[in-house]
Amino acid sequence: MATQIERARAGEITAEMAVVGRDEGLEPEVVRDRVAQGTIVIPKNVRRDSRVVGIGQGLRTKVNASIGTSSDIVDVEAEIRKARAAEEEGADTLMELSVGGDLDDIRRQVLGATELPVGNVPLYQAFCEATRRYHDPDKLDPELLFEIIERQCADGMSFMAVHCGINLYTVERLRKQGYRYGGLVSKGGTFLVSWMLANGRDNPLYEQFDRVVDILRRYDVVLSLGNGIRAGAIHDSSDRAQVAELVTNCELAELGRNMGCQMMVEGPGHVPLDEIEGNIQLQKRMSGDAPYYVLGPLPCDIGAGYDHVTAAVGAASSSRFGADLICYITPAEHLALPNEQDVREGVRVARLAVHMGDIVKLGKRGRARDLEMGKARRDMKWDKEFDLALFGDTARAIRASRTPADESTCTMCGDFCAAKNADALFRDSLSAEKV
């Protein structure tokens, strides 16, 4: 079966492309053309009926929520609740990143619990299984890794973060620059570096990239080129090792597209605000505008407990400059496995952040809802305000908890309400275009 990118290149507007056009306010032919070029991807495994989501050029910035067990906490029901919570709060995609328990069973239960496109990182299961079989992740047989990629695609994963861009050249950059202030923070990336050094071999995902692409292409799974060397501290941002991996991933994105596979590039982790725009421009230029899946980013390192807010600042900036998919950060980041409430809070804050960026990135399309909110507030149409708010239920509950004497106002100003008093002065001057 042909992939979305292959069908787009053949001139076909698929049902999925039509849905993306409808949801985004674009002509289906525009979506088809961008899918054909590889600047839009539609993560939808041919074996699973999931929600249609477009990611890429000219579209709203999407939000991903990550869940999954750890070696300390294995509670499948909790992960299912988190998956459903992420969907209820408006996440666009989900990543299932478990490393504890029966990984096949957990993945399949999560896939059955949500309509969202679900992604994962196959290296996690590969190294977990190598550890269980041989008590040493460095004894991983590359054939097991490829078998797991195939198994996970067959289960219905819609996109897959595969660490193809780490190689011995990248590792040498780490050595020559004197390692790092924040070390390595990617689980998959760290295990892969350890495997390469222990075995004296290059990354099989890099050496056999065509094999990776062939597996994912058969299921029309989006290949998201993993960011295993991302910075875990702002002082490591844009160092030679991170840029070396980014260059490789951008080259592989072009190769994968040419082979008929939908491609994304991942990056960059902890990044100070003044480097976010440059990082995105570099990725877009080198990859031919492949969709950019940004992890965070976190523009400072000292926000523990509030890193969802730290990341929101980075996410808004990233969205503004052209990032396409943002991985949320929860209040538990750097501290603990997120619980259901952390997931809800993370999704909400990330959605608000990317909307701020879309106001700039999408122009009038991105500002339309805010325009209507401005007018509703001017006219004190409270029900309309709640309908327009991203989190209308929360807004309604806060107002109801402090009921004003005059129901047209709120208890912030009461009799001194600026909107109410100005309305009496300027209602007759209101032009038709501002109604």
Domain end point (choices 362, 387, 418): 362
CA 22 vs. chain centroid, Å, equals 22
> Same domain, yes or no, for 197 and 159?
yes
Number of domains in the chain: 2
Contact 167/248 with Cβ under 8 angstroms? yes
Q: Are residues 261 and 380 in the same domain?
A: no
Tokens linked to 242: 């991170």
Q: Return the beta strands (E) in 207-291 as ranges.
A: 222-225, 263-270
Q: What is the CATH number of the domain that holds 170?
A: 3.20.20.540
pLDDT digits (tens, 9 = 90+) for 145-162: 999 999 999 999 999 999
On whether both 297 and 324 belong to a single domain, the answer is yes
Looking at residue 432, what is its pLDDT? 65
CA distance 415 to 202: 72
Same domain, 403 and 276: no
Three-class secondary structure of residue 294 per DSSP:
strand
One domain for residues 413 and 287: no
CB atoms under 10 Å from CB of 19, counted, come to 18
- Final residue of a structural domain among 317, 344, 362: 362
Average pLDDT, the chain: 96
Mark residue 156 as left, alpha or beta (left: phi above 0; alpha: psi -120 to 50; beta: remaining).
left
pLDDT in tens, 41-64: 999 999 999 999 999 999 999 999
Residue 272 and residue 316 in one domain = yes
DSSP H/E element including 55: strand 55-56
Residues 243 and 317 in one domain: yes
Domain boundary among 305, 336, 362: 362
* pLDDT per residue as tens digits for the range 169-217: 999 999 999 999 999 999 999 999 999 999 999 999 999 999 999 999 9
Q: Residues 6 or more apart from 358 whose CB is under 8 A from it?
A: 60, 61, 319, 366
Per-residue pLDDT, 76:
97
**pLDDT, mean of residues 318-342:** 98
pLDDT at 433: 67
For 139-172, give one letter per residue: b (16+ CB within 10 A) or e: ebebebbbebbbebbebbbbbbbbbbbbbeebbe
The residue written with tokens 């900036």 in the block is 317
Q: Do both 264 and 395 map to the same domain? A: no
Domain containing residue 36: 4-362
On the CB side of 261, how many CA atoms lie within 13 Å of its CA?
Answer: 28
Q: 364: burial class by Cβ within 10 Å (0-12, 13-18, 19+)?
A: exposed
119 and 255 assigned to the same domain: yes
Residues 198 and 318 occupy one common structural domain: yes
330 and 377 share one domain? no
Angle between helices 307-321 and 340-361 (to 10 degrees): 30
Lookup: tokens for 227? 């960011």
Q: From its phi and psi, is residue 183 left (phi > 0), alpha (psi between -120 and 50) or beta?
A: left
For 62-121, write each residue's pLDDT tens digit: 999 999 999 999 999 999 999 999 999 999 999 999 999 999 999 999 999 999 999 999
| DSSP secondary structure, 155-180, as one string | HT-SEEEE--S--HHHHHHHHHTT--
Do both 295 and 397 map to the same domain?
no
